[in-house]
C-alpha cells in the first residue's frame, strides 16, 4: 500500500508459471503479455497488438496491428539476440544493455529482452528479476547466490564474463 506522498507507478501481475502476464502503468492501459515456451511472443495494449516472429534461437520480425492497420518490421540482431536494427531504425547499446529510449517500445532490446516501459529496466526470467542497464546490476539478489550457481556477487549480471 502506498503511504502518503507516494503513488503507484505501475501494477505488475504474474501468471501461475510466475511469468509477467500484465503490466499496467499509471494513467495508461494495461499491457497483456503472452509467451511461446520461454520467450515473449505477443503484447496487447487496447487495440494495439505486437507479435514477435522467431525461430527457437532468433528473433526475426515484429508484426504490429493497431486500429486495423498492420505493419511489419524485419529485425536485425547480433549474436546475443540484441535487436540492432529494424526497418528505418538503428540501435546501439552500452556493454550492459542501455540504449537510447527512441524508436518502437514494442521491439525487444538487449539480448532480445523486453524493456519495461516505466523503469527502462529489463525484467529478466520473464519478470523474475529486474536488471538496471544504467547501474549495470540487478535490483534484487539472485536466489542462487551467494556462492551458489549465481556466483559471488548476488547483484552482478555475470561473473567475469563467464555467464
Say if residue 1's pLDDT is above 70. Answer: no
Has this prediction a pTM greater than 0.85? no
Specify the residue for cell string 515456451.
37
Q: Is the pLDDT of residue 65 over 50?
A: yes
Structural domains counted in the chain: 1
- Give the residue with greater pLDDT, 161 vs 152: 152
CA-based nearest residue to 128, from 144, 152, 105, 110: 144
Q: What angle do CA 47, 50, 56 make, to 5 degrees?
A: 155
% of the chain exceeding 90 in pLDDT: 39
Q: What number of CA atoms fall less than 13 Å from residue 119's CA on the CB side?
A: 22
Is 119 within the bounds of a domain?
Answer: yes
What domain range includes position 34?
10-138
Q: Residue range 126-139: average pLDDT?
A: 86
Spatial separation of the C-alpha atoms in residues 112 and 154, rounded to whole Å: 23
Residue 95 lies in a domain: yes
pLDDT of residue 44: 96
The three-state secondary structure class of 125 is helix
In a domain, 34, yes or no: yes
Banded model confidence at residue 103, pLDDT cuts 50, 70, 90 = low
In a domain? residue 144: no
> Is 4 within the bounds of a domain?
no
pLDDT tens per residue across span 67-95:
989 999 999 999 999 999 988 888 888 88
Backbone angles phi, psi at 148, to 5 degrees: -95, -150
pLDDT at 128 over 90: no
Asked, for residue 153, whether it belongs to a domain, the answer is: no
Annotate 25-81 with DSSP letters as a single string.
Answer: ETTS--EEEEEETTEEEEEEETTEEEEEEE-SS-EEEEEEEETTEEEEEEEEE-TT-
Query: Is residue 83 a part of any domain in this protein?
Result: yes
* Residue 156 within a domain: no
Amino acid at each position: 500500500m502506498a503511504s502518503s506522498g507516494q503513488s503507484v507507478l505501475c501494477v505488475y501481475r504474474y501468471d501461475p508459471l510466475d511469468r509477467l502476464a500484465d503490466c499496467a502503468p499509471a494513467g495508461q492501459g494495461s499491457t497483456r503479455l503472452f509467451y511461446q515456451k520461454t520467450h515473449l511472443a505477443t503484447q496487447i495494449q487496447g487495440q494495439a497488438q505486437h507479435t514477435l516472429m522467431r525461430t527457437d534461437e532468433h528473433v526475426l520480425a515484429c508484426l504490429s496491428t493497431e486500429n486495423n492497420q498492420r505493419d511489419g518490421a524485419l529485425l536485425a540482431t547480433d549474436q546475443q539476440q540484441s535487436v540492432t536494427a529494424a526497418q528505418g531504425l538503428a540501435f546501439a547499446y552500452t556493454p550492459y544493455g542501455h540504449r537510447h529510449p527512441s524508436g518502437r517500445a514494442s521491439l525487444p532490446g538487449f539480448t532480445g529482452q523486453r524493456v519495461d516501459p516505466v523503469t527502462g529496466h529489463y525484467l529478466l526470467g520473464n519478470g523474475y528479476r529486474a536488471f538496471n542497464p544504467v547501474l549495470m546490476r540487478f535490483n534484487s539478489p539472485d536466489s542462487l547466490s551467494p556462492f551458489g550457481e549465481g556466483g559471488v556477487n548476488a547483484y552482478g549480471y555475470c561473473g567475469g564474463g563467464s555467464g
